Amino acid sequence: MAAAGGALTASMVEIPLFTGQNSSLQSQLSNSNSQLANLKKQLDMMTGLVSLSITEQALLEPVVETIIPTDSTGVGAKEAGVIYFIDRQLASEYGLSGNMFMDAPHVPPNIPASSSNPLQVNPSLAWAFLKLPSGAYSPAGGGGSANPISYSGGSQTFTAGGTPFTVNYGITASPRVGSGINYQYPMNMREFWRVSLAALQTYSNRAYGGNFQTLSSDNQLQILKDLWTNAPKTKTPIPADDLTGFSNIQPSDFAYELTFMTWAGFLMDPIYGGNRNMVGWDYVGFNGVNFGNAYGEGLSQKTLMVASSPTKLKPASLAQYQQQAAGGA
């Protein structure tokens, strides 16, 4: 339903020109209107997408709006421009996984213990043939052999305070979703999103009978909850030749990424494309880079930090701070 590329521009009200007013007031109003028009144009210049495809845009906007809906408490993800944040991130370092460690081998977490079917992984040649100054191999420092190494996990029983307890260790650890060792996919974030968004749409059609953007809001929320519980893998059979499903991705991992990036798009500095006009910050009461005097409030941090009740301040953005700083504040 959302038009491709279309989205909210700044909600500003045109001030109607009154006839019969004096000419100075008329020209002031005219100036204000053209200023507003310029600002709208500037914002419109920023209101575009560089990375998300047409189908991705059509899907993503209702998705993020489901996560943070427009409701009686205030604006939602759409108005905050969350998809612009996500779009820009997918086009830059986040999308390219620029600050991630992407080397092989890629071994998933949560592999259960198995002594009959252990995991066999080749060592790196660097480790296998690590030469020490003496010329010898060191078993602990390096392996001296390029044979695969076998991992089976297992249980271990300990005693502490006289009470034995058993801990079960899988072949790989079971980190929580969102922790730094959970993501082990051999794909960068842009690819992860592309594949996952397509898989989400596939699941929506298979399990709920239509594209996500056509469904009721109840079903839309349910689909996202299904991601968290990995229902697409357990409840909906994916044909073996289907490359548009969650065959290689854990739906809950995408659920995390979606939810995290939606909230980030709502609450990060507007310089990144989301949190437009700081509506997200208004909502949570965060002041951004207003240390108490960005608008001449004359408040001091030293007082605010020991107050016992909150003081609401208007937020200021990083760009505003820099402009004020450059002005010699």
Partner 1 sequence: MSTVIQEPSVDVVCLGVGFMSGVVATELALAGKKVVGITKGPYWDYVNDYSTTKYDEWGVGLGRKYDHPLPLQSTTIRNNSSQFALPVRRYTMPIQYHALGHGVGGAAQHYGGGMGRQGPWGYQMESLTASAYGSGFLSSINPQDDTHDWPLTYAQYEPYYVAWEEAHAICGNYNGSPTNSPSDMNYPWMSTNYPLPPHPLTPLGQLFQSTVQGMTAPNGQPYHPFPTVSALASQPYTNRYGVTVNPCVYEGYCGGLCDYACETGAKSNAAYRTIPAAIKSGNFTLVTNAYIFRLELSTSGDQVIAAHYYDAHGNIHRQPGTVFFNGMWGYNMIRLMLLSGLGTPYIYNSGLGTGTGTVGRGLTNGYTPYRGTNVTGTVNIGGNSYPAGNGSGGGMAVYELMDDNFIHSNISPPFIGGGLVSAGGYLGSGPGNITFAGGVSGPSSTNPNGSMGSAFKATQQKKYLPTKQTVGATPFAPDLPTLMNYCDLDPHYTDAYGDPVSRLTYDWTPNTYNGAAYLVNQIKTILDQMGATNVTVGSTVAPYSAHNDWWGHHLRGGLRIGTDPNAGTPTAWAALSGYNQLYLTPTTGVNYFAAGEITNTTGNNATAGTHVAGPQSYRAAEGIKKYLQYVATQGINYLAS
Partner 2 sequence: MPAPVVPNRSKPLNIPILESRVPKPEELVVLSKPLLEATIKIGNLLNDCSAKWALGGDIGEILNGVNVQPDHITILTNAEGCPEIGKKLAEFQVEASRLVERQIRRNAEIGPKPLPVKIRSYESRFNFDGQRLEVHGDLRIKVGEWDWGDPLDFEPEYVYVVGVKVPVVPLKLKTELYLGLGWMDRVRKINEAMARRHHKIV
**Binding to partner 2 (CB under 8 A): which residues in 98-157?**
98, 126, 130-131, 133-135
Does residue 296 belong to the site contacting partner 1 (CB under 8 A)?
no
Tokens, residue 63: 């998705």
Does residue 207 belong to the site contacting partner 1 (CB under 8 A)?
no
**Binding partner selected for residue 324 from partner 2, partner 1, none, CB under the kind-specific 5 to 8 Å limit:** partner 2
Smaller CB separation from partner 2, 14 or 297: 297
Question: Which H/E stretch holds residue 257?
Answer: helix 251-267
155 three-state secondary structure: strand
Smaller CB separation from partner 2, 106 or 131: 131
Question: Which H/E stretch holds residue 78?
Answer: helix 77-80
For 7-40, give the DSSP string.
------PPPPPPTTS-HHHHHHHHHHHHHHHHHH
Tokens, residue 310: 């909150």
Which among 6-14, 143-151, 207-215, 239-247 is the span making contact with partner 1, rule CB under 8 A?
Answer: 143-151
Alpha carbon distance 158, 201 (integer Å)? 47
Does residue 291 belong to the site contacting partner 2 (CB under 8 A)?
yes
For partner 1, the binding residues in 102-141 under the rule CB under 8 A are 102-103, 105, 107, 109, 111, 113, 119, 121-124, 126-128, 130, 132-134, 138-141
Nearest CA among 93, 94, 84 for reference residue 43: 84
φ/ψ region of 59 (left if φ > 0, alpha if ψ in -120 to 50, else beta) reads alpha
Q: How many residues bind partner 2 (CB under 8 A)?
A: 14
Smaller CB separation from partner 1, 20 or 139: 139
156 three-state secondary structure: strand
Does residue 180 belong to the site contacting partner 1 (CB under 8 A)?
yes
Detail the DSSP E strand segments found in the chain. Answer: 119-121, 149-151, 154-160, 163-169
For partner 1, the binding residues in 20-79 under the rule CB under 8 A are 66-69, 71, 73-74, 76
The minimum distance between CB 247 and partner 1, in angstroms, equals 21
120 three-state secondary structure: strand
CB contact at 8 A, 83 and 57: yes
Does residue 101 belong to the site contacting partner 1 (CB under 8 A)?
yes
Which position among 1, 308, 328, 329 is part of the footprint of partner 1 (CB under 8 A)?
Answer: 308
For partner 1, the binding residues in 219-278 under the rule CB under 8 A are 221, 224-225, 228-229, 252, 255-256, 259-260, 263-264, 267-269, 271-272
**Binding partner selected for residue 293 from partner 1, partner 2, none, CB under the kind-specific 5 to 8 Å limit:** partner 2
The minimum distance between CB 212 and partner 1, in angstroms, equals 14
For partner 2, the binding residues in 70-99 under the rule CB under 8 A are 98
Report the C-alpha dihedral over residues 85, 63, 266, 192, rounded to 10 degrees.
Answer: -50
**Binding partner selected for residue 123 from partner 1, partner 2, none, CB under the kind-specific 5 to 8 Å limit:** partner 1
Burial of 170 (0-12, 13-18, 19+ CB in 10 A): middle
Smaller CB separation from partner 2, 122 or 217: 122
Residues that bind partner 2 (CB under 8 A): 98, 126, 130-131, 133-135, 291-293, 321, 324-325, 329
